[in-house]
């Protein structure tokens, strides 16, 4: 632990961008050390777009590695500079203050109780990520009022020793929106999900959502844990285009899917209520999308949308993310050639290390295309800067 502390002290002294790797969890935190002592560290964190996104407190024993020089950090520095140059929008919170000579966690919990802000906790020997507000705090214990944005019935009080808390995220964009949601009157109440699961019912619900502008969630038939949230842009007899909404309630690009790839469409749930509140809050504050994104595209439902989008990407040399019926996982690709039967593309990102650099598939294997989203723009700019695109 002393070596971890020494590395963190050096990073704080030199104002060095770092990655923190945990011993028991896969989440990596990128940012700058703000406060540090032998009880823990508070890091100002950045998201994948290079934008400041709140802070995280970690106990030192849960840290496995500190990274100060890597391709990932070089990429993040590029994105942080690009975010400044392109005037990406973000929201800043009044920062928590800490006395470095005193234990950090009690200070965090006390300030959070006063402000009644949402926090995300990781506890010892617990795989869950718990979200909630501090209901009460003593010298040794804390009582949390839990909140589950997916199921409003899960709002129990949890009392635990402070020593069980290993990590706390606070003041990030999503947590700040949840704080706003729970300050509204009346408080959100549980609703029974309304879900379509048969082809006819799915088509009907999508058509209805297209007409009334209601937020929906699309369930992926190939992955029960995977779903898309957004507004129906266009739907026809075999496919749908969704204007995606990300977890912060902002525009997240577009996805085109074959209807055969859906196992459900939901137009009412606690999570959709949460996301609708996030979208409305962002509309009030003028934070609906990043300035380089276009959320006003329209699509002709009478044409083959898959072939149209691939042809556009080919013509304008645009990256797209695709999924096929024959290959597991998604790939970020640049179309190189297309004819009546075959699509040939260069692969820039893939979930499998075994995929070749270039591939040809039967066009009919194409089942999903995601495009015009922020990470794709950032990757495009990185590849152009390095001469790879």
Q: Quick one: pLDDT at residue 60?
A: 97
305-386 shares the fold of 194-285: yes
Q: What is the rounded CA–CA span in Å between residue 82 and residue 76?
A: 10
Give the residue-averaged pLDDT of 352-376.
91
Q: How far is CA 321 from CA 95, 100, 347, 348, in A?
A: 37, 45, 10, 10
Q: What is the rounded CA–CA span in Å between residue 55 and residue 41?
A: 10
- Just give the CATH number of 194-285: 2.30.30.100
For 305-386, the fitting CATH number among 2.60.40.150, 2.120.10.80, 2.30.30.100, 3.30.565.10 is 2.30.30.100
Give the residue-averaged pLDDT of 284-312.
96
Mean of the per-residue pLDDT values of the chain:
95
Q: Quick one: pLDDT at residue 110?
A: 98
- pLDDT band at residue 1 under the 50/70/90 scheme: low
| For the chain, domain boundaries | 1-183, 194-285, 305-386
Q: What is the rounded CA–CA span in Å between residue 332 and residue 348?
A: 6
Q: Does residue 158 register a pLDDT over 70?
A: yes
Handedness of CA 153, 159, 164, 170 (dihedral sign): positive
Q: Which residues of 27-54 are buried (b: 16+ CB within 10 A; e: fewer)?
A: eebbbbbbbbbeebbbbbbbbebbbbbb
Q: Residue 205 pairs with which residues in a beta bridge?
A: none
Q: Does residue 359 register a pLDDT over 70?
A: yes
Give the residue-averaged pLDDT of 100-125.
96
Q: Provide, rounded to the nearest whole percent, the portion of the chain with pLDDT above 70.
A: 99
Q: What is the rounded CA–CA span in Å between residue 259 and residue 301?
A: 13
Coil/strand/helix, residue 382: helix
pTM of the model: 0.93
Q: Furthest-apart CA pair in the chain: how many Å?
A: 70
**Over the stretch 11-41, which tens digit does the pLDDT of each residue have?**
999 999 999 999 999 999 999 999 999 999 9
Q: Does residue 290 register a pLDDT over 70?
A: yes
Q: Does residue 329 register a pLDDT over 90?
A: no
- Just give the CATH number of 1-183: 2.30.30.600
């Amino acid at each position: 632990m002393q070596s971890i502390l020494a590395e963190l002290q050096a990073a704080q002294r030199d104002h060095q961008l770092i990655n923190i790797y945990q011993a028991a969890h896969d989440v990596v935190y990128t940012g700058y050390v703000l406060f540090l002592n032998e009880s823990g560290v508070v890091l100002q964190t950045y998201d994948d777009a290079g934008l400041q996104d709140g802070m995280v407190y970690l106990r030192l024993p849960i840290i496995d590695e500190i990274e100060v020089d890597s391709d990932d950090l070089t990429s993040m520095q590029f994105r942080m500079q690009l975010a400044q140059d392109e005037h990406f929008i973000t929201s800043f919170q009044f920062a928590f203050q800490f006395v470095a000579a005193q234990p950090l966690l009690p200070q965090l919990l006390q300030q959070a109780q006063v402000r009644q802000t949402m926090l995300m906790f990781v506890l010892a020997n617990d795989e869950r990520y718990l979200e909630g507000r501090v209901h009460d705090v003593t010298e040794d214990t804390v009582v949390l009022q839990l909140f589950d944005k997916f199921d409003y019935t899960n709002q129990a009080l949890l009392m635990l020793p402070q020593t069980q808390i290993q990590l706390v995220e606070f003041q990030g964009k999503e947590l700040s929106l949840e704080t706003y949601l729970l300050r509204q009157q009346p408080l959100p109440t549980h609703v029974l999900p309304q879900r379509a699961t048969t082809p006819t019912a799915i088509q009907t619900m999508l058509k209805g959502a297209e007409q009334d502008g209601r937020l929906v969630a699309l369930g992926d038939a190939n992955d029960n844990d995977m779903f898309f949230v957004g507004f129906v842009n266009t739907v026809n007899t075999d496919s749908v285009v969704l204007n995606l909404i990300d977890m912060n309630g902002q525009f997240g690009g577009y996805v085109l899917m074959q209807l055969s790839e859906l196992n459900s469409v939901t137009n009412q749930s606690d999570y959709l209520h949460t996301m609708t509140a996030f979208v409305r809050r962002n509309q009030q504050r003028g934070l609906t999308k990043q300035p380089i994104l276009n959320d006003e595209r329209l699509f002709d439902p009478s044409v083959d949308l898959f072939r149209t989008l691939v042809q556009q990407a080919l013509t304008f040399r645009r990256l797209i993310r695709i999924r096929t019926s024959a290959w597991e996982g998604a790939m970020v690709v640049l179309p190189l050639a297309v004819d009546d039967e075959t699509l040939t593309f260069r692969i820039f990102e893939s979930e499998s290390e075994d995929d070749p650099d270039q591939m040809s598939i039967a066009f009919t294997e194409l089942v999903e295309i995601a495009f015009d989203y922020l990470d794709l723009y950032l990757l495009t700019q990185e590849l152009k800067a390095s001469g790879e695109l």
